[in-house]
Chains A and B, each alone.
Chain A
Amino acid sequence: MSQPAPFFKTLLARPEAVLLFVLVAELVFFSAVGRNFNTADNFANIVRHSAEIGLLALVMMPIILTGGIDLSVGSLLGLCAVLFGVFTHEWHIATPLAAALTLVVGAAAGGLNGGLITGLRLPPLIVTLGTFSLFRGLAEAITKGTMTYKDFSPAFLALGHERALGLPYQGWLFIAIAVAISVLVHRTTFGRSFQAIGFSPEGARYAGLPVQRRIATTYVLAGFVAALAALVFTARLRQARADAGSGYELQAITAVVLGGTSIFGGVGTVGGTVLGVACVAVLTTGLKLIPAIALQGIGSELGSLLTGALLIFALAGGVLAKSLAARRARRQSLAKPQPQPIT
């Protein structure tokens, strides 16, 4: 903090700074024109309605950071929700044990993705496209497409509905996972290898990193947290159905990419992903609270539209900023002949 000028300069060059600006602008704008936007209830709604996608985004981030992708997390959420229903309602397992079992199954399903990708060297896009259908298909087969599990224990349902210190339980869960992933990715040698792998898999291998094992870990982690998201989703809706989490994988990827993580890997921060989740969540909820938009019944559609626009704007802005920086660097390189690392 002793030299504020260079600190802010570097901060402003980061995509996170742009997103933070967007988020603050959203908050100011919706507070001014939205109806009951600035209320504890609305805050709770925003957190509750985006917690599952947020959790998926948090674990999608390390995968994308290694240059991979996981299209199966939404389907896995559905499968885990249904399995949790089977464990509690058909096998009559006590809720805590059933939840633990669900998390194990989620991690194992993630292990299947990771195993196929690293063991058989198949492209992540293809493998997870396969498990995207496989997991959803299994969930539908188990419930025959129609069955719904309901009547879960009140203590479990609290996870989806109660608050502590004004923040819904799933909000605390999101913060805990966000901090954990952030520490893993940015503060441990283990996690920092994700970035190295995404930046250059060959280079990482020559540097002696167990590349395949590290990559597999990110998918196991994604499976585990997808199962956690399934529990949150089930508690929030008080029911488990095979269609739970449909389309969530794309919304999670959107939040990650919006948060400044390069889809090619090697670049990105967990903080950016959190901001990406927050920007989309506030935007989609806020729009529905503007009376003129609500009366037209186009809140949801406008939400998707503006999220898409924001994503393209953020990506295009990033590319523009980079080329400007490169031009400036070229000019400066006459004085200091040090090539800038691409960030």
Chain B
Amino acid sequence: MKRHSLIALLLALSAFALLGGCKDAPSGGSNNSAGGKKMTIALLPKSKGNQYFATVEKGARAAATELGADLLYDGPTNTDPAKQNEIVEGWVNYGVTVIAAACENKEGISAALKAAQDKGIKVVTYDSDTTTDARSFFVNQATAEGIGNTLMDEAARLTGEEGDFAIITATLTASNMNEWRKHIEARLKEKYPKMKLVDTKPCDDQKDKAQQEATNLLSAYPNLKCLMAICSPAVPGAAEAVKQAGKAGAVKVLGLGLPSENKAYVKDGVTQSVILWKVEDLGYLTIKAAAAVAAGSLKAGAAEFDAGKIGKMEIQGDNVLLGKPFIFNKENIDGFDF
């Protein structure tokens, strides 16, 4: 018995050794050099199970088909930084031409991406950036200024540029949302003198709390014309509060969120506008930019990038900008499923 198990163990270990023994076959490089061969673009989502990234993939496939490039799309089933690293390390070995990554954990993945760069693989990021030394460009779906201005302009349009409005945010310390609020307030001051921001309430990124806060705001400010929700759970939360108060249409609701989460309220006329970017275009632009970086036609210092059917995109520093956010409303929301 013991002799056999020891032999089995030795066999197992020698199998490992065998695997290691046949190493140093001509490594990756030969079939991913830019010239002639078909380009292989690898696209990493934060999680495969998310409708948002499924929509990104749709746009990415369209771009890859147009470019005649192979597209590898793989990611963790749920957001899992360990799995993201493993997938990137697998791609390096596979010998892809360029990697486009949405990073679940900025620092966690940057070393893996840097290792890819060391092997001559180009790296761009989209949706969520990594450290700047681990990629050449970040495809930025929306700048803080773009989001802030669009929210404020849309609130002004809905209220006829007149009256009181209130903001519901996630927390008063969330840095990205504070950045948006800064731009909202600057735009308000600059362009809409007859509008007044009466209050800003946090909802801790919870729908129930947002609904509670919205109900309180509605009774505290009877002249309120508009509720602006700038974190995604707050948009349906605010809508539910307005609906239950019987003020649908009288108090406008708009916010930053996914069309799918707000479809019912938009169709009922409770929520007027949902603001986000065109997610499919984000996938399309990412692949176009990744291919251009790999081919050497998009280099540091460029001011503009021609993304084919979605137009010319502005570049700020090392950010390729997707352009203005998109407004989803009663007329167009049915056409989107993320």
A residues neighboring B (CB under 8 Å): 10-11, 14, 16, 20, 23-24, 27, 31, 35-36, 38-43, 45-49, 148, 150, 166-167, 171, 175, 178-179, 182, 186-187, 233, 236-239, 241, 243-244, 246, 269-272, 274-275, 278, 282, 285, 288-289, 291, 294-295, 297, 299-300
Task: For B24, list chain A residues within 8 Å (CB).
Answer: 39-40
Verify if B18 is at the interface (C-beta below 8 Å from A): yes
Task: For B23, list chain A residues within 8 Å (CB).
Answer: 38-40, 43, 166
CA distance in complex: A300, B89 (Å):
14
CA distance in complex: A326, B111 (Å):
56
Contact of A20 with B12 at beta-carbon distance under 8 Å, contacts A150-B108, A295-B71 already known: yes
Looking at chain A's contact residues, the main secondary structure is helix
- Cβ B108 vs Cβ A289 within 8 A: no
- Cβ B93 vs Cβ A178 within 8 A: no
- Cβ A300 vs Cβ B93 within 8 A: no
Task: For B268, list chain A residues within 8 Å (CB).
Answer: none
CA distance in complex: A42, B22 (Å):
11
A-B CB contact pairs (8 Å), 22 listed: A16-B8, A23-B15, A35-B31, A39-B27, A39-B93, A40-B20, A43-B19, A171-B16, A237-B85, A237-B108, A239-B108, A241-B81, A270-B5, A271-B5, A271-B8, A275-B11, A275-B12, A294-B72, A295-B71, A297-B48, A297-B72, A297-B73
CA distance in complex: A237, B86 (Å):
9
- Cβ B107 vs Cβ A239 within 8 A: yes
CA distance in complex: A150, B2 (Å):
44
- Cβ A24 vs Cβ B15 within 8 A: yes
Which 7 residue pairs across A and B have the least CB separation, nearest first? A271-B8, A271-B9, A40-B23, A269-B5, A274-B12, A16-B8, A297-B73
Closest residue on chain B to residue A301 by CB atoms: B77
Task: For B85, list chain A residues within 8 Å (CB).
Answer: 236-237
Closest residue on chain A to residue B29 by CB atoms: A36
CA distance in complex: A38, B20 (Å):
8
Chain B interface size range: 35 or more
Task: For A166, list chain B residues within 8 Å (CB).
Answer: 20, 23
Closest residue on chain B to residue A244 by CB atoms: B82
- Cβ A233 vs Cβ B82 within 8 A: yes
CA distance in complex: A164, B105 (Å):
29
CA distance in complex: A291, B32 (Å):
13
CA distance in complex: A244, B93 (Å):
24
- Cβ A295 vs Cβ B93 within 8 A: no
Contact of A271 with B10 at beta-carbon distance under 8 Å, contacts A36-B94, A238-B111 already known: yes
CA distance in complex: A167, B13 (Å):
12
Partner pick for A246 among B8, B12, B70, B80, CB 8 A cutoff: B80
CA distance in complex: A50, B5 (Å):
22
CA distance in complex: A288, B9 (Å):
27
CA distance in complex: A41, B92 (Å):
9
Select the residue from A31, A271, A272, A282 with max chain B CB neighbours within 10 A: A271
Closest residue on chain A to residue B86 by CB atoms: A49
Closest residue on chain A to residue B31 by CB atoms: A35
Kindly identify, within residues 78 to 113 of chain B, every residue whose CB is under 8 Å from any CB belonging to chain A: 80-82, 85-86, 89-90, 92-95, 105, 107-108, 111
Contact of A148 with B105 at beta-carbon distance under 8 Å, contacts A23-B15, A46-B19 already known: yes
Select the residue from B31, B81, B86, B93 with max chain A CB neighbours within 10 A: B93
Kindly identify, within residues 211 to 235 of chain B, every residue whose CB is under 8 Å from any CB belonging to chain A: none
CA distance in complex: A164, B89 (Å):
19
Select the residue from A24, A166, A285, A288 with max chain B CB neighbours within 10 A: A288
CA distance in complex: A81, B73 (Å):
30
- Cβ B107 vs Cβ A150 within 8 A: yes
Closest residue on chain B to residue A47 by CB atoms: B16
- Cβ B108 vs Cβ A16 within 8 A: no
Q: Beyond A45-B93, A182-B9, A297-B74: 19 further Cβ-contacts under 8 Å? A: A11-B4, A38-B25, A41-B92, A47-B16, A49-B86, A166-B23, A167-B20, A186-B1, A186-B2, A238-B107, A241-B105, A271-B11, A274-B12, A274-B13, A289-B93, A291-B70, A295-B72, A300-B74, A300-B77
Q: How far is the CB of A166 from chain B (nearest CB, A)?
A: 6
Verify if B28 is at the interface (C-beta below 8 Å from A): yes
- Cβ B94 vs Cβ A20 within 8 A: no
CA distance in complex: A279, B125 (Å):
34
Closest residue on chain B to residue A270 by CB atoms: B9
Scoring B residues 58 to 81 as 1 if CB is less than 8 Å from chain A, else 0, what string do you get?
000000000000111110010011
Task: For B13, list chain A residues within 8 Å (CB).
Answer: 175, 178, 274
Partner pick for A148 among B1, B15, B19, B108, CB 8 A cutoff: B108
CA distance in complex: A291, B105 (Å):
28
CA distance in complex: A166, B20 (Å):
8
CA distance in complex: A175, B48 (Å):
34
CA distance in complex: A294, B105 (Å):
24
CA distance in complex: A186, B2 (Å):
6
- Cβ B95 vs Cβ A35 within 8 A: yes
Q: How far is the CB of B174 from chain A (nearest CB, A)?
A: 12
Task: For A48, list chain B residues within 8 Å (CB).
Answer: 89
Contact of A272 with B93 at beta-carbon distance under 8 Å, contacts A20-B15, A300-B74 already known: no
- Cβ B80 vs Cβ A274 within 8 A: no
CA distance in complex: A270, B7 (Å):
11
- Cβ A16 vs Cβ B11 within 8 A: yes
CA distance in complex: A58, B122 (Å):
39
- Cβ A31 vs Cβ B95 within 8 A: no
CA distance in complex: A48, B89 (Å):
10
Q: How far is the CB of B91 from chain A (nearest CB, A)?
A: 9
Task: For B7, list chain A residues within 8 Å (CB).
Answer: 11, 271
CA distance in complex: A47, B80 (Å):
20
Contact of A36 with B93 at beta-carbon distance under 8 Å, contacts A243-B80, A278-B16, A282-B19 already known: yes
Kindly identify, within residues 1 to 56 of chain B, every residue whose CB is under 8 Å from any CB belonging to chain A: 1-2, 4-13, 15-16, 18-20, 22-25, 27-28, 31, 48
CA distance in complex: A156, B93 (Å):
24
